[in-house]
Amino acid sequence: MTSLRRTWAEWVGEQSRIPPYITAGSQSIYQNLEWTIPASLLLSDEEMTPESIGFTDTKIRMLRTHYENPETIARAKRDLDDRLRDRKYGSGVWDFRGLEKKTTKQDFCLTAGVIAYYPPKKHTSIFIRYRTVELIFRYRADLVFLRDVILPQFDLQTAPPDTITFSFVNATIHPMFYIMLLLDHPKPLRLLHRIERENPDFHNQVVRWSKIHLQGGYKTYQTAQRVQKFVNRYPEETRNRIAEALE
């Protein structure tokens, strides 16, 4: 059975084979990306937890503070409920702007969500819009937040959603985090060979950072230390398999 983690790893892995729109330092920046998955893949997922992706429950509480907007969610829920009751096409939209972030100049990453009802199809569809996203480390926490906090506030039983579509104006794939993807990818060696052939500059950065994390040799950057802690939770056999693929 296909898992959310595997589907995510395969999609981001395929994207990283493509030369980026621009680079910012060692980061690859992609413009106007879209990812559509079966809604059940996210809604029924039980494997992805904050701990399993390198976070704690504090991360989800922080996302609730900054990205849960109860007033607009309530409005969108009413719009959807009215459409479902009357069996008429329509949609509801909600905002992800919660409490303003005071410790950063960065604007909100998640911007808006839409749930649309299509009576002839007897289903709804969900659309999530981003200003920008980092696809490996932080994005998976968003998926947990959406699954556990936001989407359960809507009626998902009367006309169950068929798909969830994520749209990213800008998306970052950072080689510092790539080891986290390789550990969840079903064929990391094959993926690395393809990246080396099709996106060699990025491949060099992936190899550099992944070796650093596997060796545990980076001590000055807190986020990198968190990645190394995440990597060390995997079995030695898995880590050795990735290390061999990097040679």
pLDDT digits (tens, 9 = 90+) for 30-62: 999 999 999 999 999 999 999 999 999 999 999
33-37, 195-199, 239-243: the lowest-pLDDT one: 239-243
42-46, 150-154, 180-184, 241-245: the lowest-pLDDT one: 241-245
Q: Is 196 left (phi over 0), alpha (psi -120 to 50) or beta?
A: alpha
How many other CB atoms are found less than 10 A from the CB of residue 131? 15
Exposed e or buried b per residue across 153-168, where buried means at least 16 C-beta atoms within 10 angstroms of its C-beta: ebebeebebbebebbb
pLDDT, tens digit (0-9, with 9 covering 90-100), for 116-143: 999 999 999 999 999 999 999 999 999 9
Mean pLDDT of 189-194: 95
Confidence of residue 2 (pLDDT cuts 50, 70, 90): confident
Report how far apart, in Å, the C-alpha atoms of 235 and of each of 70, 190, 219, 241 are.
41, 21, 22, 10
pLDDT, tens digit (0-9, with 9 covering 90-100), for 79-121: 999 999 999 999 999 999 888 876 666 789 999 999 999 999 9
Tokens of 242: 């990735």
Residue 103: the pLDDT is 64
Question: 191, 185 in Cβ contact below 8 A?
Answer: yes
Residue 166: the pLDDT is 98
Residue 104: the pLDDT is 62
In angstroms, the CA 204 to CA 215 distance is 17
Three-class DSSP category at 20: coil
DSSP assigned state of 148: I
Confidence of residue 215 (pLDDT cuts 50, 70, 90): confident
pTM recorded for the entire structure: 0.94
Tokens of 200: 């060699």
Residue 1: the pLDDT is 59
Residue 115: the pLDDT is 98
Q: What percent of the chain has pLDDT over 90?
A: 80
DSSP assigned state of 176: G
DSSP assigned state of 42: H
